[in-house]
Amino acid sequence: MSSAPKVWLAGARGMLGSVIATKLSERSIPFVGTDVDLDVANAEAVDAFLRSERPSVILNAAAYTRVDDAESQAADAFRVNAEGATTLARGARALGAAYLYFSTDYVFDGRAQSPYVEDAPCAPVSVYGRSKREGEIGVLRTLEGARGYVLRTSWLFGENGPSFVRTMLTLMREREELRVVRDQVGRPTYTHDLADVALRLVGLGGAAAPPGIYHFANSGPTSWYDFAQGIRQTALRLGASLRVTSILPVSTAEFPRPAPRPAYSVLDTRRIEQVLGITPRHWAEALGEHLARELRGQQ
């Protein structure tokens, strides 16, 4: 990048956005962070903001992420995840800025038996998944031939938000027995690792990667059940006091939720590994780092 980059980070108070904001500050990269104070689907407000700030890089971590609620609030989910994503893409095109939209493994139907590559057919099974897929299409179409990135990830955990890890930790302190789904398989991802990769992809700290779709997740496909066992063992190793003595595997059918989930949503990350020359670390290592941070804050 020839002149100093200026970043607009949308969704800066979310679980992922807050970590990206910290990393941008630590690296002294100038940025403006917004969240619900600047509604990404409000085209007029977004245009006015872009005219005054003129960012060279736009990172969109703003999203409607309540997967179950989305089933009954489809219009809200589509407004943020599809319309908002596309509004920002139009702004990026007008400015010639790089634009990265975070997306999800839930764009796939989960019927595959080997990891999903970037151009595998999408067939989301939930409203949330459909809204994110429509966002991807809006971004890629609007920025065709320009600097548009879609970065799909899965099973996010991190410090500043509700996540499976946080929920499990709370339940493990409250209950002796837990039931956790074993027939859904995916790749857990730590927000810190994803944030590092996203910044590199758009050229913040090196040359930018070619635009397009990328997948990133920590390594080690696992089930929610095995992930829960990993959380318990790691928390105990770090000195947490837990009530839970038994974690029982259950099936998705025994644990009905409003939104269907893909049974198998393992992302193939070879493209990003090759382009950036990285090897994602195992989720268990990242989980250890995360829980050490979480528990330090609580003990």
Q: How many residues bind ligand NAP (CB under 6 A)?
A: 27
Which is nearer to ligand NAP, 13 or 282 (by Cβ)?
13
Please report whether residue 156 would count as binding ligand NAP according to CB under 6 A.
yes
Please report whether residue 32 would count as binding ligand NAP according to CB under 6 A.
no
- Phi and psi of 224, rounded to 5°? -60, -35
Catalytic residue among 128, 149, 190, 264: 128
The answer to whether the Cα torsion of 239, 242, 248, 252 is positive or negative is negative
Query: What 3-state class would DSSP assign to 101?
Result: strand
Active site residue 106: no
Q: How far is the CB of 243 from ligand NAP (least distance, A)?
A: 26
d(CA 291, CA 162): 14
Nearest to 217 by CA among 242, 197, 245: 197
Nearest to 249 by CA among 225, 223, 221: 225
Please report whether residue 260 would count as binding ligand NAP according to CB under 6 A.
no
Please report whether residue 86 would count as binding ligand NAP according to CB under 6 A.
no
Please report whether residue 155 would count as binding ligand NAP according to CB under 6 A.
yes
Which alpha helices (H) appear in the chain, and where do they start and end?
A: 15-26, 43-53, 67-70, 74-78, 85-95, 127-142, 164-174, 191-201, 224-237, 270-276, 283-298
- Phi and psi of 155, rounded to 5°? 50, 55
From residue 52 to residue 71, what is the string marking binding to ligand NAP with x (rule CB under 6 A)? ---------xxxxx------
Which is nearer to ligand NAP, 154 or 218 (by Cβ)?
154
From residue 99 to residue 138, what is the string marking binding to ligand NAP with x (rule CB under 6 A)? ---x-x---------------------------x------
Please report whether residue 159 would count as binding ligand NAP according to CB under 6 A.
no
d(CA 199, CA 267): 20
Active site residues: 128
Contacts with ligand NAP by CB under 6 A lie at 10-11, 13-17, 35-36, 39-41, 61-65, 80, 84, 102, 104, 132, 153-156, 161
